[in-house]
């Protein structure tokens, strides 16, 4: 094992986890305040009728008695005790999550843990796959003290995680309570402006905390923003999850088996975004690819439902590039070129991938495959940027730094991202790789551009840097074929110390 592999810490965002894009961040959440009837889309009369029902009174009185008997318990104790109380009253779908530590649950909530989950599966313990975001109806946060601002942000974060990965879901409503005081929180996704919005219940209300909690527990799936139609697709096709493969910026990926289709095994991507475009791009690329070219393919599982557009199936189960293979990837020029050719093929059918990073590359039978074409856009077509920031071109970073409006991308942006993937893994660049990683982790993405600008001046004699500078200067005018020639030429010569790429690039200018 080389010293580079043993000594270098490769940033997880750059290799394995979801991209950190402008549309995903939520620093300093701002909340709109709405009355309860507005959050629930109910009239005051409808709420009054619910409160006057026998079922409501029965549940309310039970919760009131529970609270008076258990209000001196610690938070972790009251969660489990409240679960027992609810299950005895046929609320078997609400679970205390204190013991949950399966991989999907941990990934979904980024190593944090909600107090209680309202799931579509019964029982006292979720299995690994029922921790998937599309099984969650809501979240309940129980506190034994006065509610604080940080509590709102905490539950909003959990609700956002569920919404971010739930196919077609428009909103989710959660409950924050200490029994005496209860607040409803709504998180909704506005597709028109590609933004998540946060709404909290107005403090002015005639209802008590126990009444609001009882009202919340009385809500239907529709009122919570949940739709079970998507789950029915998996059930009707008798799809069994065999392995959890990981998550992307808006999707979870599984290795599955269909017991209805002669035990066919396949990779299933479940996304909150419509997958129709991604499927079209991959199919069009396969129509024009060279014989024996490594390229991911889609499978047709005949999902006959509107929600099927949020599913896409693939023919091969690859693995993320591990550290050992990354070193081979960097050393093997032909492997780099073969990988780039997949991006070039995407350009040939008129699309920019726009999310090129190591995390969107998988290894299968010693070959590298580009995956996740969900963020692909057509050139010069204004759209909200949803790609990775750590490998975005400086041109994109400058635009994003000035505003978050729609921007136009160019084929050259993919070329820059591909070379930045390599640059971020170079031993001499590791200090700046760490700075970029930290900027993303700390949600200080404005630090990425100046880091690149400084480092590119510092290492200006490196061939890969010279090419990056050239591409940045000409990102709006290079053709698909010229870009392809530049990338291949750079890959063939970037390791050669006695070769300088200046003359080649100068000829292109002429």
Residues marked as binding?
A: 269
Q: What is the dihedral of CA 2, 20, 459, 480, to 10 degrees?
A: 100
Please count the residues of the chain: 510
Question: What is the rounded CA–CA span in Å between residue 364 and residue 12?
Answer: 20
CA-wise closest residue to 251 among 356, 389, 174, 360: 360
b/e burial code for range 353-373 (CB count within 10 A of at least 16 → b): bbbbbbbbbbbeeeebbbbbb
Name 471's Cβ contacts closer than 8 Å, sequence gap at least 6: 393, 412, 415, 416, 419, 478, 483, 486
Between helix 411-423 and helix 463-473 the angle, nearest 10°, is 160
Question: Taking a C-beta distance cutoff of 8 angstroms, is the pair 182, 210 a contact?
Answer: yes
Q: Which residues are annotated as a binding site for ATP?
A: 269
CA-wise closest residue to 354 among 475, 506, 180: 475
Residue 126 to residues 93, 175, 197, 236, 319: CA-CA distances in angstroms?
Answer: 10, 20, 29, 21, 26
H-state helical runs in 89-192? 103-108, 149-164
Structure tokens at 320: 């993320």
Question: Taking a C-beta distance cutoff of 8 angstroms, is the pair 52, 45 a contact?
Answer: no
Residues linked to residue 173 through DSSP beta bridges, in sequence order:
186
Q: Where do we find the tokens 């529709």?
A: 222
CA 452-456-460 angle, 5° bins: 175
Question: Taking a C-beta distance cutoff of 8 angstroms, is the pair 284, 261 a contact?
Answer: no
Question: Taking a C-beta distance cutoff of 8 angstroms, is the pair 319, 363 a contact?
Answer: yes
Q: What is the dihedral of CA 302, 243, 277, 196, to 10 degrees?
A: 120
How many angstroms separate the first and last alpha carbons of the chain?
A: 44
Residues linked to residue 313 through DSSP beta bridges, in sequence order:
268, 299
């Amino acid at each position: 094992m080389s010293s580079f592999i043993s000594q270098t810490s490769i940033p997880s965002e750059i290799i394995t986890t979801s991209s950190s894009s402008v549309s995903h961040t939520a620093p300093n959440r701002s909340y709109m305040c709405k009355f309860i009837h507005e959050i629930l889309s109910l009239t005051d009369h409808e709420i009054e009728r619910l409160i006057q029902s026998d079922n409501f009174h029965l549940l309310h009185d039970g919760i009131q008695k529970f609270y008076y008997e258990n209000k001196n318990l610690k938070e972790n104790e009251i969660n489990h005790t409240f679960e027992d109380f609810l299950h005895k009253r046929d609320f078997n779908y609400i679970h205390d999550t204190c013991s949950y530590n399966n991989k999907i649950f941990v990934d979904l909530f980024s190593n944090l843990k909600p107090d209680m989950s309202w799931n579509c599966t019964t029982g006292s313990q979720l299995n690994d796959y029922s921790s998937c975001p599309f099984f969650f109806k809501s979240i309940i946060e129980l506190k034994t003290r006065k509610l604080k601002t940080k509590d709102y942000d905490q539950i909003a974060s959990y609700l956002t995680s569920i919404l971010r990965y739930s196919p077609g879901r428009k909103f989710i409503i959660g409950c924050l309570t200490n029994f005496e005081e209860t607040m409803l929180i709504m998180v909704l996704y506005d597709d028109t402006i590609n933004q998540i919005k946060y709404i909290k219940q107005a403090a002015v209300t005639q209802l008590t905390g126990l009444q609001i909690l009882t009202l919340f527990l009385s809500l239907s799936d529709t009122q919570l923003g949940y739709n079970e139609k998507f789950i029915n697709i998996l059930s009707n096709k008798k799809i069994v999850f065999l392995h959890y493969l990981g998550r992307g910026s808006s999707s979870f990926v599984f290795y599955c088996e269909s017991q209805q289709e002669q035990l066919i095994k396949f990779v299933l991507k479940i996304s909150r975004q419509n997958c129709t475009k991604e499927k079209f791009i991959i199919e069009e690329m396969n129509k024009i690819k060279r014989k024996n070219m490594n390229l991911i393919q889609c499978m047709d599982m005949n999902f006959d439902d509107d929600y099927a557009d949020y599913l896409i199936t693939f023919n091969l189960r690859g693995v993320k590039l591990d550290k050992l293979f990354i070193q081979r990837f960097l050393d093997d020029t032909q492997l780099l070129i073969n990988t780039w050719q997949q991006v070039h093929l995407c350009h040939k059918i008129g699309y920019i991938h726009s999310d090129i990073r190591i995390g969107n590359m998988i290894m299968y039978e010693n070959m590298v495959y580009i995956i996740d074409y969900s963020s692909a856009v057509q050139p010069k077509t204004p759209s909200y940027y949803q790609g990775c920031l750590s490998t975005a071109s400086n041109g994109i970073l400058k635009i994003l730094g000035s505003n978050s409006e729609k921007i136009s991308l160019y084929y050259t942006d993919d070329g820059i991202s591909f070379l930045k993937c390599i640059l971020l893994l170079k031993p001499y660049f590791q200090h700046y790789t760490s700075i970029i990683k930290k900027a993303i982790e700390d949600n200080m993405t404005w630090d990425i551009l100046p880091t690149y600008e400084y480092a590119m001046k510092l290492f200006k004699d490196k061939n890969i840097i010279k090419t990056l500078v050239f591409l940045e200067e000409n990102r709006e005018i290079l053709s698909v074929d010229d870009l392809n020639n530049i990338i291949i030429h750079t890959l063939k010569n970037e390791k050669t110390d006695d070769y300088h790429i200046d003359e080649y690039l100068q000829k292109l200018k002429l």
